[in-house]
């Protein structure tokens, strides 16, 4: 969809995922948690899913299953990602410290 973006290896490609779990192994109970995780995909495969590069964005606790309203919780994350996509931020690049994302 965006071939110009993909061609530049310094652009950050992110994956957004969510998973629900029941704390304390209480499956079938009314309490559950959902985590929202962001992972950079343009790292080597061995680093992509390693602990140091997985960013826990938020944890959604709830007395009932919050997955029915997960879009409400995800809205600030999506808005910030869209802002980064359209506006961009200046970042440090090891090869050239004055290159910024745009």
In this predicted structure, the answer to whether residue 101 has a pLDDT above a threshold of 80 is: no
Instruction: Give me the pLDDT at residue 68, please.
Output: 73
Query: What confidence tens digit (pLDDT) does each residue in 70-82 have?
Result: 888 888 888 988 8
- In the three-class reduction of DSSP (H, G, I as helix; E, B as strand; rest coil), residue 72 is classed as helix
Between 10 and 35, where is the model more confident? 35
Between 54 and 29, where is the model more confident? 54
Q: Are 43 and 55 contacting, i.e. CB atoms less than 8 angstroms apart?
A: no
In this predicted structure, the answer to whether residue 61 has a pLDDT above a threshold of 60 is: yes
- What separation in angstroms does the CA of 26 have from each of 65, 70, 82? 13, 21, 36
Instruction: Give me the pLDDT at residue 50, please.
Output: 85
Query: Which token pair is 50?
Result: 């390693």
Region 5-22: mean pLDDT is 79
């Amino acid at each position: 969809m965006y071939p110009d973006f993909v061609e530049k290896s310094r652009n950050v490609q992110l994956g957004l995922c969510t998973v629900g779990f029941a704390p304390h192994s209480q499956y079938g109970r009314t309490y559950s948690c959902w985590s929202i995780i962001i992972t950079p995909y343009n790292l080597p495969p061995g680093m992509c899913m390693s602990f140091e590069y997985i960013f826990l964005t938020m944890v959604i606790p709830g007395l009932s299953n919050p997955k029915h309203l997960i879009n409400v919780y995800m809205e600030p994350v999506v808005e910030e990602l869209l802002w980064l996509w359209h506006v961009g931020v200046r970042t440090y690049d090891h090869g050239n410290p004055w290159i910024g994302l745009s």
